[in-house]
Structure 1
Amino acid sequence: MQKNEEEPLSPMARVFQSPGIDLCALINIGFKTKINPDVVLDALKQNVYKHPRFSSKLSENGEKWIETKVNVEDHVIVPYIDPEEICEIGQSFVDDYISRLTLIPLDRSRPLWDIHILNVKTSDAEAVGVIRFNHALADGMSFISLVLACTNKTSNPDMLSTAIPSVKRRSTVSHSLEKNGWFLRAIFTIGSTVRLIWNTLVDMFLLFATVLFLKDTKTPLKGGANVRSNPKKFYHRNISLDDIKLIKNVMNMTINDVLLGITQAALSSYLNRQYEQAKNSEEDGALTSYPNNLPVGIRFRAGCTVNLRSDIGFKPLAEMMVKDSKCRWGNYFSFIILPLSIGLETDPMVYLKKSKAMMARKKHSYQAALTYFLIKISLKVLGAKATTSLFNQHLMNITTCVSNVMGPMEEISFHGHPVAYIYPSSYGHSHALLIHYTSYAEELTITITVDPTVIPDPHKIFDDMEESLKTMKAVLWERGLL
């Protein structure tokens, strides 16, 4: 990409940086060694100008990027940490420090990013680096491409990091139809087109209804009107990526299908327990156990990010920065709404089957592309303030958001600092609960972002996720499918 003095923001970037949302991303990277701040500063001084987003600030009207001089020292924060006070509470210190960051806005007079170096030992790292930036700079896929460009394989320091190879979107026409003549292909194409149009119309109607009046059921996981301005807490837990792949292969589904099935099962268990506690409290502490405490017909929906690039795998950073690239850098994604199935199932495989059917249905719709197009039109016709208000109303009327980002396939190092884990999240949204999945090496990291005034016990959601995965795997063994 050639550097220009000014460059317009993309539609999603304009929405994300608006004062009504001001959505920021947080990337928490755990290291296996202490971090040398001088190494970080030196690397930034040599490379920050190679990336226009990290060396540009916003114009006053928030519509353009303007190149500017970057003083790297202003963007790297190394707080003083008393080693005697921190030896017993490393993880708590990191959690509280990151939570406080959600109340401190980024300085708009300079590029919208900073890095915080915390040389604190936690349960799974010797030190933690926190990268914070306004979401207008990039989406998750763009950031991972940047990480790969700045790191090397730990096993071979001379080789750059790699992620899952670039792939094309799969065709919906089966091989059997391709072999059985033009007539069957024509019938399939007509039927598929009609279904595509119908699904898109239904999805767009529900989207407009959600913006205007259709709200999710008020549950113990749904935040109130002030949740966006409340401090957030970030938690993570690692699970085996091999277990996810095992279920994926046996059930003939995608990794996203499996993750969504686990999410539905875990949130159902968590909410059932919350409603049980509420009932027991109303009955003056009675010990009565209710097998199913969930209200009938809970409307519980999740926003889900959808990559709009034609190449849905990863490309090298240099290729993503080229103008008109098919795998461009920035915020080239949209949202769909997933109606989660909240209910107790005697067979845990039902959650997986429902998630597979739901995702197959959502893939056969143009809602994501149309939503992105409508945001562009709304920005031109109504302006940024009105568009942001409509976008935020949509977020407030659903319960949560989920996303899955593919990370490096092998362990990576940053200038001699081996990475233990990577997990992204964000704040500035109108949800009390946010769920991110990120793969790294042989593990999958689940990140939960919560408003602690609404969800004081997020670790129980992790427990339910691990138990759901364990139960699903056990059922497959019992049925002789493994």
Structure 2
Amino acid sequence: MELKVNVGCAEDAKMSEPVSPTGQYFNSSALSVSVISILEFENPIDDSSSLALINNVFLPINPRFSSIMVKDGDRGKLWKRVEVKGEDHIKVPIFPEGLSPESYDHIFNDYLSKIAMDPLPQTRPLWEIHIFKYPTSNASGSLVFKLHHALGDGFSLMGALLSCLQRADNASLPLTFPNFLKSTKQDNEIKSLMSVVPHALSVAINTVLDFGWSILKSSFLEDNQTSIRSGEEGVEFRPINIITMTFSLDQIKKIKSSLQVTINDVITGIIFLGTRLYMEATCEKEKNARTTALVLLNTRSIGGYRSVNEMVQNQEAQVQWGNQFGFLHVSLPKLNQYDQSLDPLKFVQETQNIIKRKRNSSAVYLTGMLLESVRKYRGPEATAEYIHSTLKNSSMTVSNLIGPVEKMTLANQPVKGLYFMVVNVPQVPLFISCICLILSLTVTIMSYMDQLRVAVGTEKGLIDPEKFRKCTERAFSIMYNAAVLDK
């Protein structure tokens, strides 16, 4: 349901702001996307302070948490400030008591699948908090934040979530994050005209090739139908499974050092190799089928998350809020491409080469300009359908976020783990498909303390989640053995 209001008076105008183009794409008849973030707690959850946290900490972070999306004639869609009743946004499900953690694992997964499918009411701000008070295999209780993607991208929303948490060792100190500022080494190396010209030529060629391929992928060039891609309409109406797996960040760093690549190269290589192993184990002839991943990139120029005070008071931080990301079409390397023996190190290096070449391109920005042109001349609905087509023709999405180095608490309750998942919410008839699980496979990655948490969203009835988990864990094992133990 789209609300239409008159916001003509001066007071209302001050309380409203335009919805960004991307925000309009993500809350349309063709697309409706949310981010689910899960906090796992060491001890049973005490929710007595939940309303105070919402009113005093969460809502002040950004006006959009206190706004609804409305339509105002020629002005288009606006964020309209409204009064928020925190109790309307808190859900506490009730299930039978005294079951085993394994039983609650299944209940929790089914519950996540349900809330992933339930649309957020458009008559109130687009977020919810679900408090799951039952012990699973991973936690004594879990807190689920569901936030509409129109509010912001994963970086913005995770920054908002982390701003509600404190360091366990000293709440007066800020959370710290691994340094992921871009190195200036390459910039320093490109000093002379002799090096600038070949670099610029390489960027130009890569841009033309990548942008052209992106248009083809968004228009009619579909991936093969495989054991990870059904390619059928109406996927968004099917339930999902969400499984997670945990890897040692220290071991990932050892692989990184051994291969002289980045941590992103290693974990992306592991995910891609695990996917290929799953395809091979499911159907031998599919192992080298045409398979494309959409790898999401943060396009901000800043180096890290902002604190609550910065988000509220700092104008630059507010400008950096929202949906500021792009994506790369990355073809998964093939198994046994050159010989009959699996070389996991060559697989990672090939993954790195593909991503490095695509990063050495301006296709991401040209795609953004194309989307803006489509929006300007054909409207946000047409743009959303174009994005929908881009996703529909691919096989999987991969996105990652960096979490804090220190252990966290929420209202003095220790956080054991956290992960996130991008989910689709069906709002439209069957013949129109939506964003996330029109792809049958979605992978998200989040670091926290000394661990890397990988969450996998799969279409029920198509992908065997436990088999996929085992294949991915096998990919990590053989890669670690080849890079570290066998040297």
State the Cα distance separating 1:4 from its structure 2 match: 4.0
C-alpha RMSD over aligned residues: 2.0
Compute the displacement of 1:317 (Å).
4.2
Per-residue deviation, 1:476: 2.5
In structure 2, C-alpha distance between the alignment counterparts of 1:295 and 1:261, rounded to whole Å: 15
User: Which residue is equivalent to 1:303?
Assistant: 294
| Corresponding position of 1:236 | 244
**Is the Cα–Cα contact under 8 Å of residues 139 and 416 in structure 2 kept in the other structure?**
yes
Q: 1:32 is matched by which residue type in structure 2? A: E
Contact 1:220 1:274 (8 Å CA) reproduced: yes
Residue by residue, what CA displacement relative to the aligned partner does 1:95-136 show, whole Å, maximum 9, x if unpaired? 111111122110100000000001010111000111111111
Write the distance in 2 (CA, Å) between the matches of 1:399 and 1:102: 20
Listed as ranges, the gaps of 5+ residues in structure 2 are: 1-12, 425-435
Which residue of 151, 167, 180 corresponds with 2:165?
Answer: 151
Secondary structure at 1:38 match in 2 = coil
- Equivalent in the alignment of 1:316: 307
Residue from 351, 369, 375 that aligns with 1:379: 375
Listed one character per residue, the Cα deviations across residues 149-207 of structure 1 (whole Å, up to 9, x for unaligned) are 211111223323222346246453454x64xxxxxx20110111111011111111111
Residue of structure 1 equivalent to 2:199: 192
- How far the C-alpha of 1:86 sits from its partner, in A, is 6.3
Which residues of 2 match residues 318-397 of structure 1 at below 5 A? 318-320=309-311, 322-325=314-317, 328-344=320-336, 345-397=341-393
Aligned to 2:423: 427
The amino acid across from 2:17 in the alignment is E
What is the aligned-residue identity percentage? Answer: 27
Q: Distance in 2 between matches of 1:334 and 1:352?
A: 23
Q: 1:474 aligns to what?
A: 481
Q: Which moved more, 1:221-230 or 1:206-215?
A: 221-230
Contact 2:58 2:164 (8 Å CA) reproduced: no
For residue 128 of structure 1, what is the amino acid of its counterpart?
S
Instruction: State the 1:45 CA deviation.
Output: 2.0
Check the 8 A contact 1:196/1:366 in 2, yes or no: yes
**Distance in 1 between residues matched to 2:389 and 2:407, nearest whole Å:** 40
CA drift of 1:469 comes to: 1.5
Q: Which residue of 2 aligns with 1:226?
A: 234
Measured in 2, the distance between the counterparts of 1:267 and 1:69 equals: 46
Distance 2:309 2:179 in 1: 16
Q: 1:190 to 1:71 in 2, by over 3 A?
A: same
Q: Is the 8 A contact 2:102 2:136 kept in 1?
A: no
Q: Which amino acid aligns with 2:28?
A: S
Q: Which residue of 2 aligns with 1:36?
A: 46
Deviation of 1:19 after TM superposition, in Å, equals 2.2
Alignment-derived partner of residue 429 in structure 2 = none
Q: CA deviation at 1:479?
A: 4.7
In structure 2, relative to structure 1, the CA distance for the partners of 1:372 and 1:31 (3 Å cut) is same
SS at match of 2:150: coil
Q: Which residue of 2 aligns with 1:280?
A: none
Q: Distance in 2 between matches of 1:166 and 1:468?
A: 25
Q: Following TM superposition, by how much is the alpha carbon of 1:443 offset from its aligned partner in structure 2, in angstroms?
A: 0.5
Q: Would you say 1:121 and 2:126 are equivalent positions?
A: no
SS at 2:49 equivalent: helix
Q: Give the partner amino acid of 2:22.
A: M
Match runs of 1:68-467 below 5 Å? 68-85=82-99, 89-165=103-179, 167-168=181-182, 170=184, 172-173=186-187, 175=189, 178=191, 185-223=192-230, 224-276=232-284, 293-294=285-286, 298-320=289-311, 322-325=314-317, 328-344=320-336, 345-428=341-424, 429=436, 430-455=438-463, 457-467=464-474
Which deviates further from its counterpart, 392-401 or 133-142?
133-142
CA separation in 2, counterparts of 1:127 and 1:454? 29
> What's the CA shift for 1:245?
1.0
CA contact (8 A) 1:31 1:125 kept: yes
Secondary structure at the counterpart of residue 453 of structure 2: strand
How far, CA to CA, are the matches of 2:456 and 2:249 in structure 1?
Answer: 17
Helix, strand or coil at the partner of 2:178: coil
Asked if the contact 1:166–1:314 (Cα under 8 Å) also holds between the matched residues in 2, the reply is: no
* CA pair 241-87 structure 1, distance change in 2 beyond 3 A: closer
The TM-score normalised by the length of structure 2 is 0.88
- The residue type equivalent to 1:328 in the other structure is Q
Question: Which residue pairs with 1:56 in the alignment?
Answer: 67
Alpha-carbon distance in 2 for matches of 1:111, 1:326: 18
Number of positions where the alignment pairs a residue of Structure 1 with one of Structure 2? 453
> Residue 182 of structure 1 aligns with which residue?
none
> Cα deviation per residue 1:226-250 (whole Å; 9 max; x = unaligned)?
1122222211111111111111122
Distance of aligned partners of 1:9 and 1:327 in 2 relative to their CA distance in 1, 3 Å threshold = closer
- Determine helix, strand or coil for the equivalent of 1:172: helix
Q: Which amino acid aligns with 1:303?
A: L
Structure-1-length-normalised TM-score: 0.89
Separation in structure 2 between the aligned mates of residue 169 and residue 273 of structure 1, nearest angstrom: 39
Per the alignment, do residues 125 and 207 of structure 1 end up closer, same or farther by CA in structure 2, a change over 3 Å counting? same
SS in 2 for 1:150: coil
Query: Residue 390 of structure 1: CA displacement?
Result: 1.0
Q: Which ranges of structure 1 fall in alignment gaps of 5 or more residues? A: 179-184, 277-292
**Could you say if the C-alpha distance between residues 295 and 47 of structure 1 is closer, same or farther in structure 2, counting changes exceeding 3 Å?**
closer
Alpha-carbon distance, 1:295 to partner: 5.9
